[in-house]
């Protein structure tokens, strides 16, 4: 009986070594981050890079968070407040992580870093990974954005972030200067500045940062302004657009705003063309050389959008629900997809109308 016992003991010791987690500290502009080193990968989770964008800082450009204090960086931060009014059936909601994995919170300007713990003085490429979600939902704290495997197997540093979304990040409000309406994009810019200042301390090369992202759309200013005006009236801030109304709205509880954005009166909130973060004609700017000259790889997902119509079989019902008052009929739509049955057409319509443009 001694041999099996000794073998079992040895096996347990091996498992303990394999799964061993040790504390690690890295000093940054956000403070002394207390993370973990497990199996050759350092992780720092829930690192604050911006001041809480709440109260007087709601609908204001992000303010950097600077600290010299010790910060626990072992737990993922909550997701930002999500908008799921568009995902009514159980299947899309489950895919879009509704409810989010962690509690939602308006205080969301946190990031996560994964980096190989070996050869920290060797500057490694950095992947700055932004989540999808059409600017209305999403979080860098989802399991699918965990950078452990990439750091371990590709020898790179991975950064994910949380930023403001939906009406909080892209209000489209005339109360705010048009050049300061895209708060979610300004949050991303601040996080990139944090990377430039700090990533070398994790073994990353600030001159080799690749941004990966699949949210590329902009909204019409007037459509968003209409939604924002409806929101202001709904929550009792019915002053004329301006500083007084904005101040009133800054005092509305975040939960009340969430209820509006997930209700029937809410519109879709996203980036506006402000010619600061989003430009009117990006292709023309590229042709004229008015860009940063950074290489870009573009692609699209073949059937993006089909998830929203899973289980739908009535083409007429789809047209009446999504295109009311347009004069479109089932026969007209069928003529655009010769050789397709209604099921294939239903799967194609959201892709071609909303996602492939």
Q: What is the mean pLDDT of residues 275-304?
A: 82
* More reliable by pLDDT, 149 or 321: 149
Cα distance between residue 319 and residue 342, in whole Å: 12
Listed ranges 15-19, 109-113, 141-145, 352-356; the one with the highest mean pLDDT: 109-113
Taking 3-state DSSP, the helix, strand and coil percentages for the chain, each rounded to the nearest 5, stand at 35, 15, 45
- Structure confidence by residue, pLDDT tens digits, 174-202: 899 888 889 999 999 999 999 999 999 99
- Cβ–Cβ < 8 Å for 116, 41: yes
Q: What burial letters (b/e) apply to 173-198, b meaning 16+ CB within 10 Å?
A: bbbbeeeebbbbbbbbebbbebbeeb
Listed ranges 61-65, 165-169, 229-233; the one with the highest mean pLDDT: 61-65
- Per the DSSP assignment, residues forming a β-bridge with 71 are 33
Q: What is the mean pLDDT of the chain?
A: 85
Q: What burial letters (b/e) apply to 68-86, b meaning 16+ CB within 10 Å?
A: eeebebeebbbbbbbbbbe
**Which has the minimum average pLDDT: 43-47, 153-157, 288-292?**
288-292
Backbone angles phi, psi at 79, to 5 degrees: -75, 165
Identify which of 183, 211, 355, 162 has the alpha carbon closest to the alpha carbon of residue 269.
Answer: 183
Tokens matching residue 294: 């950074």
- Structure confidence by residue, pLDDT tens digits, 263-284: 776 767 888 888 888 888 878 8
Max Cα distance, the chain (Å):
84
For 211, other C-beta atoms within 10 Å of its C-beta total 15
- The predicted pLDDT at position 214 comes to 67
Q: Evaluate if residue 304 carries a pLDDT over 60.
A: yes
Domains of the chain (ranges; CATH) run 21-299 (3.40.50.1820), 301-357 (no CATH)
Q: Please give the C-alpha separations between residue 163 and each of 61, 79, 81, 241, 337, in angstroms, as whole numbers.
A: 12, 9, 10, 26, 39
Q: Evaluate if residue 10 carries a pLDDT over 70.
A: no
Note the pTM of the prediction, 2 decimals.
Answer: 0.82
**Block residue for tokens 């302004």:** 225
- Structure confidence by residue, pLDDT tens digits, 96-121: 655 555 578 999 999 999 999 988 88
DSSP class per residue in 36-88 = EEETTEEEEEEEE-B----GGGTTS---B----SEEE-BSPPPBPPP--TT--
Cα distance between residue 308 and residue 104, in whole Å: 23
Cα distance between residue 315 and residue 347, in whole Å: 10
For 268, other C-beta atoms within 10 Å of its C-beta total 21
Q: Evaluate if residue 2 carries a pLDDT over 70.
A: no
* More reliable by pLDDT, 313 or 42: 42
SS3 of residue 311 by DSSP: coil
**Block residue for tokens 């402000």:** 274
User: Which stretches within the chain are classed as H helix?
Assistant: 2-18, 90-95, 148-154, 166-169, 183-198, 221-234, 243-250, 254-261, 282-288, 315-322, 330-336, 342-350
- Cβ–Cβ < 8 Å for 200, 121: no
- Structure confidence by residue, pLDDT tens digits, 31-45: 999 999 999 999 999
Pairing of strands 204-212, 124-129: parallel
**Block residue for tokens 């973990």:** 36
* More reliable by pLDDT, 285 or 114: 114
- Structure confidence by residue, pLDDT tens digits, 236-248: 998 888 999 999 9
- Structure confidence by residue, pLDDT tens digits, 195-235: 999 999 999 999 999 999 865 554 444 445 558 888 899 99
Q: Evaluate if residue 11 carries a pLDDT over 50.
A: no
* More reliable by pLDDT, 293 or 71: 71
Q: What is the mean pLDDT of residues 39-56?
A: 97
């Amino acid at each position: 009986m001694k041999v099996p016992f000794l073998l079992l003991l040895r096996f347990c010791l091996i498992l303990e070594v394999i799964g061993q987690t040790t504390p690690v500290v890295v000093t940054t502009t956000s403070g002394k981050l207390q993370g973990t080193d497990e199996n050759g990968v350092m992780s720092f989770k829930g690192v604050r890079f911006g001041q809480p964008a709440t109260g007087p800082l709601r609908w204001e450009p992000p303010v950097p968070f600077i600290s010299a204090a010790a910060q626990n960086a072992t737990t993922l931060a909550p997701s930002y407040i999500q908008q799921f009014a568009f995902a009514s059936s159980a299947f899309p909601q489950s895919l879009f992580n509704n409810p989010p994995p962690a509690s939602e919170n308006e205080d969301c300007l946190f990031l996560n870093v994964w980096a190989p713990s070996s050869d920290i003085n060797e500057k490694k490429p950095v992947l700055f990974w932004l989540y999808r979600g059409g600017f209305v939902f999403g979080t860098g704290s989802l399991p699918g954005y965990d950078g452990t495997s990439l750091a371990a197997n590709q020898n790179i540093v991975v950064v994910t972030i949380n930023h403001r979304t939906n009406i909080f990040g892209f209000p489209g409000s005339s109360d705010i200067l048009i050049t300061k309406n895209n708060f979610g994009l300004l949050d991303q810019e601040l996080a990139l500045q944090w990377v430039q200042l700090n990533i070398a301390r994790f073994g990353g090369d600030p001159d080799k940062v690749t941004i990966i992202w699949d949210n590329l759309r902009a909204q019409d200013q007037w459509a968003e302004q209409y939604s924002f005006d409806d929101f202001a009236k709904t929550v009792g801030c019915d002053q004329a657009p301006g500083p007084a109304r904005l101040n009133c709205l800054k005092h509305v509880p975040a939960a009340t705003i969430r209820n509006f954005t997930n209700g029937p009166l809410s519109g879709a909130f996203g980036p506006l063309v402000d010619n600061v973060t989003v430009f009117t004609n990006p292709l023309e700017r590229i042709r004229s050389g008015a860009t940063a000259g950074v290489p870009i790889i573009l692609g699209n997902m073949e059937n993006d959008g089909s998830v929203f119509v899973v289980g739908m079989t009535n083409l007429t019902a789809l047209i009446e629900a999504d295109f009311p008052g347009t004069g479109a009929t089932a026969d007209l739509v069928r003529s655009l997809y010769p050789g397709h049955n209604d099921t294939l057409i239903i799967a194609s319509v959201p892709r071609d109308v909303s996602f492939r443009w």
